Amino acid sequence: MRDVTANPATTVVVVTWRGAGHVTACLDALAAQTRPHRTLVVDNASDDGTAALLAAHPSHPQVVRLTRNTGYAGALAAALEMVRTPLMAWLNDDAEPAPDWLATLEDALEKAPLAAAATALLVRPDGTTQSAGVRLTADGHGADVTEPAGEVFGFCGGAALLRADALRAVGGVPARFFCYYEDTDTAWRLRLAGWDVVAAPGARVRHAHGVSSELGSALFHRWNERNRLLMLLRCAPLDVAVRQLVKFAVLTAVLPLRPGRGTAVNFRFGLRCRVLAEVAARLPATLLARRVITRRAALGRGAVWEAWAGL
């Protein structure tokens, strides 16, 4: 039997950026976990005193301080290179997991040998559910499941547990996404490789959500829209990816011709043009990544899409 006290199964990776106001509560919650683990904090070049708080925390987490802000995806990609345990947990710095959070996630994966990831139940400070997993919508979005479900397409990257070797085998974390959709892209690649993703609703996490990035801001929508399109171009059936890209471009083109167009941030003409420019600039690397994902796949993209899209 594995000695989990001396040789824990999981490295919990906490990514922080300007987390002085909340990272201590996250580390306190990790210190109270019932299951031994290693804690690795990746500091995205915070300039608000976060480094001093990390150094002073009584749990003495391993801290890696990056020279620039690489986003959530970039920091996770850097952390994966340092993880030596079989399992790697992703945890937002504004999340406070319940004491049995990690034990519940580890047990869920132990009971599901064909699963490469287990997703936790994230709840907002008011007690409402933020995410019980991720579903794949009919137009290719990754959307939070707000009621505990028996099956989920993917995991919410704010609090999840993954098999490190499986993650490496499918290409790791898409660092260039910077922020958002790195979890759904990873779930796509795990699914294509033949792995399952399971929900562990008993692994409860209180999540402030949106502390590091302003939800609904121009940056939020830019990253979301860009990364959704890049994810589809990397992972989805080609006709789905092209259809969604053309739909986005056509809607963008006609916006100036619509006098009554909405004022929602994600329908701003300039923002959408920037999204298209960034997708175009990344297209050669994205299509190369698509070829690599195809070589690693055990299932067809169409089979995964038909099984999960729109459910």
- 126-179 pLDDT per residue, tens: 999 999 999 999 999 999 999 888 789 999 999 999 999 999 999 999 999 999
Helices (H), ranges, the chain: 23-31, 50-56, 71-80, 101-111, 164-169, 182-192, 218-235, 238-254, 269-296, 301-308
| 307 Cβ neighbours under 8 A, 6+ residues apart | none
Lowest mean pLDDT among 72-81, 185-194, 216-225, 295-304: 216-225
Provide the 3-class DSSP secondary structure of residue 126.
coil
Give the Cα separation of 26 and 17 in Å (integer).
13
- pLDDT greater than 60 at residue 125: yes
Tokens 């990257």 belong to 157
**Residue-level pLDDT at 209:** 65
**Residue-level pLDDT at 288:** 98
Dihedral through CA 199, CA 204, CA 208, CA 212, nearest 10?
Answer: -50
- pLDDT greater than 80 at residue 213: no
Among 157, 249, 137, 139, which residue's Cα sits nearest to residue 197? 157
Give the Cα separation of 277 and 279 in Å (integer).
5
Asked if 6 contacts 34 with a C-beta cutoff of 8 angstroms, the reply is no
Give the Cα separation of 124 and 305 in Å (integer).
30
Model confidence, pTM: 0.95
- pLDDT greater than 70 at residue 78: yes
**Residue, of 247 and 256, whose pLDDT is higher:** 247
**Tokens at residue 70, please?**
């690489």
Among 225, 141, 131, which residue's Cα sits nearest to residue 179? 225
**Residue-level pLDDT at 1:** 43
Asked if 40 contacts 64 with a C-beta cutoff of 8 angstroms, the reply is yes
- 96-118 pLDDT per residue, tens: 999 999 999 999 999 999 999 99
- 217-227 pLDDT per residue, tens: 899 999 999 99
Q: Could you tell me the pLDDT band of residue 184, with boundaries at 50, 70 and 90?
A: very high
CA angle 220, 98, 21 (to 5 degrees): 50
Among 12, 44, 11, 27, which residue's Cα sits nearest to residue 212? 44
Mean pLDDT value across residues 7-12: 97
The overall average pLDDT reported for the chain is 94
**Residue-level pLDDT at 226:** 98
DSSP state of 154: B
Give the Cα separation of 20 and 10 in Å (integer).
25
CA angle 282, 300, 183 (to 5 degrees): 50
